[in-house]
Chains A and B, each alone.
Chain A
Amino acid sequence: MLRIRLFEGTLADLIDAGEVKTPCHLYIGQEAIASGVCAALRPQDTIWGGHRSHGHYLAKGGDLTAMMTEIFGKVTGCSRGRGGSMHIVAPKVGLLGTVPLVAATIPLSVGAGFSCKLRKDGGVAVAFFGDGATEEGHFHESMALASKYGLPVIFVCENNYYASHLSLLERRTKDNISESAGAHGMAGSLIDGNDVLGVYSTAADAVLRARENRGPTLIECRTYRWRGHVGSSWDMDVGVKRRDELKEWLDRDPIPRLRKQMLVEGVPNEWFEGEESAIREEINIALKAAREDPYPSTEEVGAHVFVKGIEG
């Protein structure tokens, strides 16, 4: 959680300074969800994300430097400078792609579920998406398919109450996303997305259900988008109501919550300080690479439209 928070804090500063220009959608405040869910997964399990996926990438084990260099458009980036913040990938650790078309990766995760089922490899696929994505047909069609074929898929809805500038109840009649699970005949739950241990435990149950061929699960995690839809702003332009809400949610910050619990369990304060300084050092190294590494060769603007060499 802290790695995500500090990485994105740095990113926000870089956006403010005008050094990062590719559109970045910050995950700050929602870190418990990616961290809790990915802690319940194996490296070969796949996860699928959207436009706000720096947290998913780091939580699944993606290389921090390769994401920073990608955001700077460098050839050493995780997508070789073709993806920016919104198209990041870490195939070796099971992140097969994140893309900004809202809800687009939900049915792709269902396909990964078919792969696991046909190979009988015990794998699980996880789709991370926001509350806005539940307004797309993709969401319902995907749950219907996954449920019908009993696929090992976990649908993780991060309900942060905002899709761009519109709040949840400006977009739907009822605050009842998790109830969609019942309509599709599958397991579903509504949990506190800012409680990392609770997220982990719910995800672990869902993972077990998937591995035992007992079907998919929808987990709606309640959380809050601290920053604006895109960029580094605090997004106060959406009205007074949000200012009050934000204050409440800042008090529910998942990181101090866990830290408090860990202190009670006897983890010494120095340990936290050591972790934080190691992460800051890692970010500094990444930033240095992002500034110094080369851009892709302009001669290669048309390269990679197709893959080569995977025939047979």
Chain B
Amino acid sequence: MRTLNYGQAIREAHSQLLKKDPRVFVIGQGLWSPWYAGGSLQDLDKEYGRDRIIDCPISENAVTAAAVGAAISGMRPIVFHPRMDFMLLAVDPIVNQAANWSYIFGGQVGVPVVIRSVINRGGEQGAQHSQALQAMFTHVPGLKVVVPGTPYDAKGLLVSAVNDGNPVLYIDDRWLYSESGDVPENLYSVPIGKGRLCARGNDVTIVSSSFALTECSKAVSLLSAKGIGVELIDLRSLKPWDKEMVFSSVKKTGRLIVVEGAWRSGGFAAEISATVSEEIFNDLKSPVMRVCLPDAPAPTSPALEKVYFFNSAHIVSAVEKLVVLERS
């Protein structure tokens, strides 16, 4: 199988979708820039023309709303926010309009828009270039949220998002752009709402997604060397999320740690934790634990960044705490 990195996989999905479907176009900031989108949109304007690859003014609100309006009127736009923080200027078209449109008109008018954004954490960028706000959007009925963690899923989930017919937030992570993996050349899709089992084990289930997965994978190896078997699940989609896969794993292991590269309070880890406690409490051998970012904005100082962003060692110690706590 051919290997691509994460950015190349996203680019290939764009290119194949643009070629296949004349309704698809891309609009957002940085589309004509050689570096803004980490290669994920590189030279698409040269291939498909600047009428369909539209680098635009810094008007997140109107641009996102224009994508929503184009979707309502028959197109399949992908609107791009190179930094997720800036997407907050477009919350009206996302939350008030796109998310509500189908419901308030009784399912007669769909909004087939993909709203893509990138989490830009790290690199001493600080509070307004680092936010991972996916949980905010999972709160809203009418939005789907996908968070691909591998090149394979980055391509396949973009295809599903464009074809879904409903508003989909596609959230990728700058830290994933150098990850490589197998990516088929054909135009395939990865279903929205289905998780992926990354590792099998009997002692504890770790549920994670997006960049946090890479640290989880390292933790799985470290723990395996210590004789602790971890079942690792990549959710891939946060809304809808694969309850069936998570439940069946937790029923087997009896222990659950949710690892999310976002703030703890009101985060998506809390949603999973609450659902598991509500629905399969009797299968749990110990309380559900979360490994998340602290409830503070991202710092810039490298000394602070080091403790702010968790790594595999934090995950290992959380697992050990859980298992040891229970064994003792």
In angstroms, Cα B119 to Cα A88, docked, is 37
In angstroms, Cα B70 to Cα A111, docked, is 4
* A308 CB within 8 Å of chain B: yes
Q: Are B57 and A145 within 8 A (Cβ)?
A: yes
Contact A304-B66, Cβ < 8 Å, known A89-B109, A115-B75, A118-B25:
no
Q: Are A97 and B142 within 8 A (Cβ)?
A: no
In angstroms, Cα B63 to Cα A97, docked, is 18
Q: Are B62 and A142 within 8 A (Cβ)?
A: yes
Q: Are B75 and A118 within 8 A (Cβ)?
A: yes
In angstroms, Cα B163 to Cα A310, docked, is 8
In angstroms, Cα B142 to Cα A308, docked, is 12
* A80 CB within 8 Å of chain B: yes
A16 to chain B, nearest CB (A): 27
How many cross-chain pairs have Cβ atoms below 8 Å apart between A and B?
A: 165
Residues of B within 8 A of A308 (CB): 107, 165
Pick the contact of A82 from B71, B73, B106 — CB < 8 Å?
A: B106
Q: Are A144 and B62 within 8 A (Cβ)?
A: yes
Q: Summarize A's interface: helix, strand, loop or mixed.
A: mixed
* B211 CB within 8 Å of chain A: no
User: Which of the segments A100-108, A161-169, A278-286 contacts the partner chain?
Assistant: A100-108
Residue of B at shortest CB range from A103?
Answer: B92
* B82 CB within 8 Å of chain A: no
Residues of B within 8 A of A116 (CB): 73
* B287 CB within 8 Å of chain A: no
Q: Are A79 and B106 within 8 A (Cβ)?
A: yes
* A148 CB within 8 Å of chain B: yes
In angstroms, Cα B90 to Cα A137, docked, is 11
A87 to chain B, nearest CB (A): 4
Q: Are A144 and B59 within 8 A (Cβ)?
A: yes
* B74 CB within 8 Å of chain A: yes
Residues of A within 8 A of B141 (CB): 305
Q: Are B103 and A111 within 8 A (Cβ)?
A: no
Pick the contact of A310 from B65, B75, B110 — CB < 8 Å?
A: B110
Contact A303-B57, Cβ < 8 Å, known A107-B93, A311-B165:
no
What 1/0 mask marks residues of chain B from 51 to 91 whose CB sits below 8 Å from any chain A CB?
A: 11010110101110111111111110100000000000000
User: Which of the segments B94-102, B245-253, B273-281 contacts the partner chain?
Assistant: B94-102
What 1/0 mask marks residues of chain A from 117 to 160 whose CB sits below 8 Å from any chain B CB?
A: 11100000100000000000110011011001100000000000
B103 to chain A, nearest CB (A): 5
Q: Are B73 and A80 within 8 A (Cβ)?
A: no
B282 to chain A, nearest CB (A): 28
In angstroms, Cα B72 to Cα A83, docked, is 17
Contact A82-B105, Cβ < 8 Å, known A101-B92, A110-B62, A118-B75:
yes
Q: Are B65 and A107 within 8 A (Cβ)?
A: yes
Q: Are B63 and A145 within 8 A (Cβ)?
A: yes
Contact A108-B103, Cβ < 8 Å, known A101-B92, A148-B57:
no
B104 to chain A, nearest CB (A): 4
**Interface positions of A from 10 to 59, Cβ below 8 Å from B:** 46, 48
Residues of B within 8 A of A142 (CB): 62, 65-66
* B328 CB within 8 Å of chain A: no
* B166 CB within 8 Å of chain A: yes
Pick the contact of A83 from B52, B56, B104 — CB < 8 Å?
A: B104
Q: Are A304 and B72 within 8 A (Cβ)?
A: no
Number of chain A residues whose Cβ lies closer than 8 Å to a Cβ of chain B: 51
In angstroms, Cα B1 to Cα A268, docked, is 81
* A271 CB within 8 Å of chain B: no
Q: Are A104 and B101 within 8 A (Cβ)?
A: no
Residue of A at shortest CB range from B89?
Answer: A137
A183 to chain B, nearest CB (A): 14
In angstroms, Cα B101 to Cα A115, docked, is 18
Q: Are A97 and B70 within 8 A (Cβ)?
A: no
Residues of A within 8 A of B101 (CB): 97
In angstroms, Cα B105 to Cα A83, docked, is 6
Residues of A within 8 A of B54 (CB): 149
In angstroms, Cα B325 to Cα A312, docked, is 51
* B112 CB within 8 Å of chain A: yes
* B164 CB within 8 Å of chain A: yes
In angstroms, Cα B256 to Cα A75, docked, is 44
In angstroms, Cα B163 to Cα A82, docked, is 26
Contact A144-B57, Cβ < 8 Å, known A87-B104, A99-B97, A305-B141:
yes
Q: Are A114 and B66 within 8 A (Cβ)?
A: yes
Contact A97-B56, Cβ < 8 Å, known A104-B65, A107-B66, A141-B62:
no
B193 to chain A, nearest CB (A): 12
A51 to chain B, nearest CB (A): 13
In angstroms, Cα B144 to Cα A107, docked, is 22
In angstroms, Cα B75 to Cα A98, docked, is 19
B101 to chain A, nearest CB (A): 6
In angstroms, Cα B105 to Cα A118, docked, is 26
* A256 CB within 8 Å of chain B: no
In angstroms, Cα B165 to Cα A172, docked, is 41
Residues of A within 8 A of B56 (CB): 145
Q: Are A112 and B70 within 8 A (Cβ)?
A: yes
What are 12 A-B contacts with C-beta separation under 8 Å?
A79-B105, A97-B109, A106-B65, A108-B68, A110-B65, A111-B75, A114-B25, A115-B70, A138-B61, A141-B59, A149-B54, A307-B102
**Which residues of B are in contact with A by a Cβ distance under 8 Å?**
25, 27, 51-52, 54, 56-57, 59, 61-63, 65-75, 77, 92-93, 96-97, 100-110, 112, 141-142, 144, 163-166
Other A-B pairs, 17, CB within 8 Å; known A46-B73, A141-B59: A79-B106, A80-B108, A82-B106, A104-B92, A104-B97, A105-B69, A108-B68, A108-B93, A111-B71, A114-B66, A115-B69, A115-B73, A118-B51, A119-B74, A145-B63, A304-B107, A306-B102
